Amino acid sequence: MKKILITGITGFVGSHLADYALKKGVKVYGLKRWNLSRLRNVAHLLDKVEFFDCDLTDPIGIRKIIKKINPDWVFHLAAESFVSPSWDHPSHYMDVNFKGTVNILEAIRGANINPRFFIPGSGEEYGDIPENEIPINENTLIRPVNPYAVSKVAQDYIGYVYFRSYGLNVIRTRAFNHEGPRRDNVFGIPWYAYQIARIEAGKQKPIIRVGHIEDRRNFTHIKDLVEAYWLAITHCKPGELYLIGSDEKDHIYSYREILGMLIKMSKVGKVKIVQDPQFVRPTSVPRLIGDTSKFRKLTGWKPKIDVNTVLEDTLEYWRDFIKNDKY
């Protein structure tokens, strides 16, 4: 039976990937931080996955676990992924996203194994791309504008270094925006849905606080994304870069439009939208629209779930949380 290790398994993407992997009949191992992981995302998996307590910034701990598991595949999803705090904690983001990746790659090298090692990069790495360079492709110049993005660039490139220097089977990807249930409400769409659910439940005045909402994106449902990640680790060539995500030209939305769609789906009636300075970042990324044709041609993947379902699933998730006082 194939053994796969998912770092960051308790997170948004990691928990959904675990769901998908278990349906494939593989043995799933997951890393979690003993005192910090949010187990609510994997409560239904506690008897199906073998969990290990480990912090990727601890090289000794990760070496022991890699030797014990001897994985065939590693999905390295553990990361500091929320952009906004990265300006206040740039060193921490590098410690987790860059140094944590070095630690696990060194653990693999030290164990004399060579599993397929999946790195999920981010469209944020491209930064502020001029309109005339849209859509973004694998050759587009990166111009990161926040510390999070820089840490993900470093993670990606150190993966490439280990591929070139040591022949490790590093699969490099950059994914564009993906959303759905279990995503923390510090991010844009779940933050809107969370507030709407509170308003519907009478726990918040009909005021929705937002940051900058003019940035434009494509959005992929998390279930489509984890299928893409599985195909990537199966089909993609080590060392090469692949972009993943929705790139349909008629499905590009600003966050203002997304918020309007959520409000129409809800029962809140008339609401006031207020820009709150605490949610406005020092720099923004006005457009992240990719050309994912290289990945699609290789794997045959394309998203199946439309943006309305993305929003409906997210809103229902937060309604359930508010209703059951889970948050």
pLDDT in tens, 92-132: 999 999 999 999 999 999 999 999 999 999 999 999 999 99
pLDDT at 249: 80
Q: How far is CA 90 from CA 83, 96, 136, 150, 154, in A?
A: 10, 10, 26, 9, 13
Say which range, 175-184, 236-245, 317-326, has the weakest mean pLDDT: 317-326
Q: Which two three-digit tokens encode residue 262?
A: 């959520």
Which CATH number does the domain 3-178+221-244 belong to among 1.10.8.50, 3.20.20.60, 3.40.50.720, 3.40.30.10?
Answer: 3.40.50.720
Neighbouring residues of 87: CB distance < 8 A, sequence distance ≥ 6: 146, 147, 281, 282
Q: Is the pLDDT of residue 7 over 60?
A: yes
Q: What's the gap between Cα 95 and its chain centre?
A: 18
Q: How far is CA 24 from CA 122, 127, 185, 223, in A?
A: 26, 36, 30, 14
Q: How far is CA 53 from CA 14, 29, 61, in A?
A: 15, 11, 9
Mean pLDDT of 129-158: 97
Domain positions in the chain:
3-178+221-244, 180-217+251-287+305-323
CATH class of 180-217+251-287+305-323: alpha beta
Provide the Cα torsion 149, 151, 153, 157; round to 10°: -170
pLDDT range class, residue 82, cuts 50, 70, 90:
very high
Q: Is the pLDDT of residue 295 over 70?
A: yes
Can you give the chain as a three-state secondary structure string?
CCEEEEECCCCHHHHHHHHHHHHCCCEEEEEECCCCCCHHHHHHHCCCCEEEECCCCCHHHHHHHHHHHCCCEEEECCCCCCCHHHHCCHHHHHHHHHHHHHHHHHHHHHCCCCCEEEEEEEHHHHECCCHHHCCECCCCCCECCCHHHHHHHHHHHHHHHHHHHHCCEEEEEEECCEECCCCCCCCHHHHHHHHHHHHHCCCCCCEEEECCCCCEECCEEHHHHHHHHHHHHHHCCCCCEEEECCCCCCCCEEHHHHHHHHHHHCCCCCCEEEECHHHCCCCCCCEECECCHHHHHHHCCCCCCCHHHHHHHHHHHHHHHHHCCCC
pLDDT at 38: 77
Neighbouring residues of 224: CB distance < 8 A, sequence distance ≥ 6: 178, 246, 303, 304, 305
* Residue whose structure tokens are 């791309």: 129
297-323 exposure pattern, b = at least 16 Cβ within 10 A, e = fewer: eebebebebebeebbebbbebbbebbe
pLDDT in tens, 265-292: 999 999 999 999 999 999 999 999 999 9
pLDDT range class, residue 324, cuts 50, 70, 90:
confident
Say which range, 102-116, 236-250, 304-318, has the weakest mean pLDDT: 236-250
pLDDT in tens, 32-71: 987 767 799 999 999 999 999 999 999 999 999 999 999 9
CA dist 110 and 273 (Å) reads 53
pLDDT at 36: 64
Half-sphere exposure (Cβ direction) of 100: Cα atoms closer than 13 Å: 23
